[in-house]
Amino acid sequence: MDGRVVFVGAGPGAADLLTFRAAKAIAEADVVIWAASLVHEDVLQHASADAEIVDSARLPMEGVLPYYERAAAEGLTVARIHSGDPALWGALQEQLDRCHELGLATEIIPGVSSFSAVAAAAGRELTIPEVAQSVILTRLGGGKTPMPPGEEVREFARHGTTMALFLSAARSRQLQEELLEGGYPPGTPCVVAYQCTWPEELIVSCRLDELADTVRAHKLWKHTLVLVGPALEAGGTRSHLYHPGHFHGHRRAEPGARKVLRGG
């Protein structure tokens, strides 16, 4: 059999937040590569007893490549586990490129991203009609990875919609300042989530002008995601899509409700 590498989205942590497809891919793998620093070890419950388990937390990309080379040479199936969804900050593309150079077949299995898990834990919808209809997924610049021009948090904050900020808790003061400079009012609601869906989970709500103090008070600097935006406490508006006056291919509009919806 030809070797293949399956990039598996393992979700935010809890082993029962994997998709069925992800669990099956882990169960079928000869080699399971996971990062103990990012993925909860319960996820390994899905691996077969014979599988070789490799913790990549201490390995650079070069340390993982020999496993891909072996998969190509010996026709093995490798499951490479990524936290959340592999398409977001997973160094996925460079691994795919290397696998293709080696002639390995690849597959990507999407996962529940941490921003979805945090919204669920906070009990909030991120898109509220007439308040916020977009979600910006980003991170603070200035760390090890520079931001491309125009992608600074300050610039995105000008939209005033919901933002999910990954990889930014260690510089919470800068984060707060950039969000305020971008134009969010100081009272804008925020949710700070540490290790969401892990046993140590911590979810705290605060105002934007309390964000840095809140993050510091709980000594959070990694495994933390911040949601910000008016949708986090807005309510009272309703979606036209589910209004009885809205029609589509599968549903007729109620005439009276249609008149209300159109302002008549």
Ligand X SMILES: C[S@@+](CC[C@H](N)C(=O)[O-])C[C@H]1O[C@@H](n2cnc3c(N)ncnc32)[C@H](O)[C@@H]1O
Nearest to ligand X of 5, 225 (CB atom):
225
- 150's tokens: 């125009």
Residues 101, 29: contact at Cβ < 8 Å? no
When CB distances to ligand X are compared, the closest residue is 84
Which of 56, 113, 161, 176 is in the footprint of ligand X by CB under 6 A? 113
Q: Is 84 in the site for ligand X (CB under 6 A)?
A: yes
Nearest to ligand X of 37, 237 (CB atom):
37
Name residue 126's amino acid: L
Element (H, E) at 172: helix 172-181
Nearest to ligand X of 27, 202 (CB atom):
202
Q: How far is the CB of 76 from ligand X (least distance, A)?
A: 25
Q: Any residues with CB less than 8 A from the CB of 8 and at least 6 apart, and which? A: 18, 22, 25, 26, 79, 80, 81, 82, 86, 109, 111
Q: Is 85 in the site for ligand X (CB under 6 A)?
A: yes
Q: Is 193 in the site for ligand X (CB under 6 A)?
A: yes
Strand-pair category, 162-166 with 135-139: parallel
Tell the residue number behind the tokens 């913790």, with chain if given.
55
Nearest to ligand X of 114, 188 (CB atom):
114
Site for ligand X in 209-248 (CB under 6 A): 222-225
* Count of residues in contact with ligand X, rule CB under 6 A: 22
Site for ligand X in 151-170 (CB under 6 A): 166-167
Q: How far is the CB of 203 from ligand X (least distance, A)?
A: 9
Nearest to ligand X of 111, 189 (CB atom):
111
Task: Tell me the three state secondary structure of residue 52.
Answer: strand
Distance, in Å, from the CA atom of 36 to the CA atom of 29, rounded to the nearest integer, reads 18
Q: How far is the CB of 87 from ligand X (least distance, A)?
A: 7
Q: In what order do the strands lie in the sheet with 162-166?
A: 135-139, 162-166, 224-228, 189-194, 202-207
Beta pairing partners, 7: 80, 108
Q: How far is the CB of 82 from ligand X (least distance, A)?
A: 6
Q: How far is the CB of 168 from ligand X (least distance, A)?
A: 7
Distance, in Å, from the CA atom of 184 to the CA atom of 171, rounded to the nearest integer, reads 18
Handedness of CA 212, 218, 222, 225 (dihedral sign): negative
Residue 94 CA, chain-centre distance (Å), reads: 19
Q: Is 13 in the site for ligand X (CB under 6 A)?
A: yes
Nearest to ligand X of 13, 189 (CB atom):
13
Which residues contact ligand X (rule: CB under 6 A)?
Answer: 12-13, 82-85, 88-90, 113-114, 166-167, 193, 195-198, 222-225
